[in-house]
Amino acid sequence: MPKKGCADSHASEGHGPECAGAQAPHPANSARIDHERSAGVIIYRHCHNASGGHRPDAQAQCAPEFLLIKSAKGHWDLPKGHVDSQLDRIAALRELQEETGIGETAMASGLEDFYTEITYTYEDAAGRHPKTVAYFLAKADCDVCLSPEHTAFRWVGLQDALALVVFPETQQLLKDAAAVLDRKQC
């Protein structure tokens, strides 16, 4: 039986099950904003020993695994999305639920342990746009139910995550989160 707030799949990598009630991505805003703001959550689980066995109660030599989701555009990233006039925390939780099916009740830790912002510029057909993303960190060892805007997910250790994500800001974000978790002794 899935944990409360989680979907129905136990795969470490997958496309997610067909989910009842999965939400489609929100429609694009017709007005361009000069500086976009988004919010997201770095989701981790632990502990996995060297042989790959799951050891959630182990304190020694445990290493967190991070949840990465693959966008329809083909790149691996963290769950995140636009802030629509609400608080960053609320937007981050909404996007996490919409993109992965992971609800707040499935998280074993709150979002208050880690908060950081990254700013970068992206380019699309309309030009270059600055964007700031607020990130929180939370533990959730549960099933993933992907939104239609994503094609796959993976739970991966830090080194694999760094190899999969292509954006330097996201790579540094994952390193920072891993350092926080290391100081907490997993």
As given in the structure block, the two tokens for residue 30 are: 């017709």
Minimal CA–CA distance to 68: which of 163, 179, 181?
Answer: 163
Per-residue pLDDT of 8-31, as tens digits, reads 333 344 444 444 333 333 333 334
Domains in the chain: boundaries: 35-183
Encoding tokens for residue 47? 């502990």
Q: How far is CA 50 from CA 88, 157, 159, 168, in A?
A: 36, 11, 14, 27
C-alpha to C-alpha distance for 174 and 84, rounded to whole angstroms = 25
For residues 115-134, average pLDDT:
92
CA–CA separation, 88 and 76 (whole Å) = 22
Q: Answer yes or no: are the C-beta atoms of 81 and 95 closer than 8 Å.
A: yes
The CATH class, in words, for 35-183 is: alpha beta
Model pLDDT for residues 95-124, shown as the tens digit of each residue: 999 999 998 877 766 666 788 999 999 888
Predicted confidence (pLDDT) at residue 50 exceeds the cutoff of 60: no
**Whole-angstrom Cα Rg for the chain:** 16
> Which of 39-53, 87-101, 123-137, 143-157 shows the lowest mean pLDDT across its residues?
39-53
pLDDT for the residue 108: 65
38's enclosing H/E stretch is strand 36-45
State mean pLDDT over 74-78. 95
pLDDT for position 160: 97
**152-160 mean pLDDT:** 96
φ, ψ of residue 146 in degrees (nearest 5): -70, 150
How does the average pLDDT of the chain come out, rounded? 78
Please state whether beta strands 36-45 and 127-139 pair in parallel, antiparallel, or not at all (unpaired): parallel
Residue in the structure block whose two tokens are 């002794």: 185
User: pTM to 2 decimals?
Assistant: 0.75
The confidence score (pLDDT) of residue 183 equals 84
Residue 159 has pLDDT above 90, yes or no: yes
Burial (CB < 10 A; 0-12, 13-18, 19+), residue 138, is buried
